[in-house]
Structure 1
Amino acid sequence: MEKKLNCVLLIDDDFATNFINKKIIEKANITTHLQVALNGKEAIDYLLNKGKFKSAETVSPTPELIFLDINMPVMDGWEFINVYKSLIPAEQQKKIKIIMLTSSFNPADKAKADSIKEIADYRQKTLNAGIVHEIIAKHFS
């Protein structure tokens, strides 16, 4: 990849999954900044520079790519999408691709994701280098 993404945001409550996905993304060398949020609320706080991400000196880099899990405590993936649509400015949303990355094999989850325009893609866990490069080629070429 010639030009790296500014930021990738992983939203998943599973520490082992985050560890593996971070290593895969780092090895793929697709981004200059990689951020992890353990649930949808943390991710919204990150996007809005609030909560533990609030800083007077710096603004968190805006992700161009978000990997979003469905099942999480506090705020799940579906709740995140609803809040994201209402709180994140449309101009910012246009610059972000959300990939639902889930262990769910429920066809209803896939159908629901396909019906939400903010979700660019739906993938099964876990990531691998091939999937990462396929997503980059499909959504950022």
Structure 2
Amino acid sequence: MKKLNSILLVDDDMATNFISKMLIKKAGITDHIETTLNGRQALDYLTNTGKYEKSDGIFPQPMLILLDINMPVMDGWEFAEAFSNLDENLRDNVVIVMLTSSLNPDDKEKASNFPVISGFQNKILTIEGLTSIMNTFFPGYLD
């Protein structure tokens, strides 16, 4: 099976990150999962300006970002806006899927107005949801 080089989780809820991480590990779709607690940390990670210490010094660009909407410091919408303004080489081939517990249909509508947001899923991530993301945006990776 072909694997994604990296997945970035952006969510201020530690329990959600833990569950998502376990699910992704179980699915075996990547060997590299990064977690940030808000949009600001995610941008710092993507641009390597954060205080991230890596023993190997490697910061692989994520192919998939799972993004929460409601977070302190910088929420999902603000992150999407800032991400849109990053250098093209930092945005290329990155799929952003919003994960939200919001039942507000306006959120899905708003997400569709951001070209950088590729998909919208309900939290908590499930194996079915992850499979759907993989089949939609990374066909051939689950074979």
2:114 aligns with one of 113, 116, 127: 116
How far residue 54 of structure 1 moved from its aligned partner, in angstroms, is 6.4
1:92 aligns with one of 90, 99, 110: 90
Deviations 1:11-43 (A, max 9, x none): 000011111111111101101200000000000
Query: Structure 1: how far apart are the matches of 2:61 and 2:50?
Result: 16
How many residues are aligned here? 138
What SS does the aligned partner of 2:99 have? strand
What residue in structure 2 maps to residue 21 of structure 1? 20
TM-score when scaled to structure 2? 0.92
What residue in structure 2 maps to residue 135 of structure 1? 133
More helix by share: 1
What residue in structure 1 maps to residue 32 of structure 2? 33
Query: Structure 2: how far apart are the matches of 1:26 and 1:32?
Result: 8
Query: Structure 2: how far apart are the matches of 1:22 and 1:58?
Result: 21
What residue in structure 2 maps to residue 43 of structure 1? 42
What residue in structure 2 maps to residue 69 of structure 1? 68
What SS does the aligned partner of 2:119 have? strand
Query: Structure 1: how far apart are the matches of 2:45 and 2:68?
Result: 16
**Is the 2:10–2:42 Cα contact (8 Å) retained in structure 1?**
yes
How far residue 53 of structure 1 moved from its aligned partner, in angstroms, is 2.1
Query: Structure 2: how far apart are the matches of 1:78 and 1:47?
Result: 16
User: How many percent identity over aligned positions?
Assistant: 47
**Is the 1:49–1:59 Cα contact (8 Å) retained in structure 2?**
no
**Is the 2:46–2:90 Cα contact (8 Å) retained in structure 1?**
no
Unpaired runs of at least 5, structure 1: none
Structure 1 consecutive aligned stretches of length 4 or more whose deviation exceeds 3 Å: none
Counterpart amino acid of residue 38 in structure 1:
L
How far residue 63 of structure 1 moved from its aligned partner, in angstroms, is 0.1
How far residue 94 of structure 1 moved from its aligned partner, in angstroms, is 2.4
What residue in structure 2 maps to residue 7 of structure 1? 6
Query: Structure 1: how far apart are the matches of 2:99 and 2:78?
Result: 15
How far residue 133 of structure 1 moved from its aligned partner, in angstroms, is 1.2
**Is the 1:98–1:120 Cα contact (8 Å) retained in structure 2?**
yes
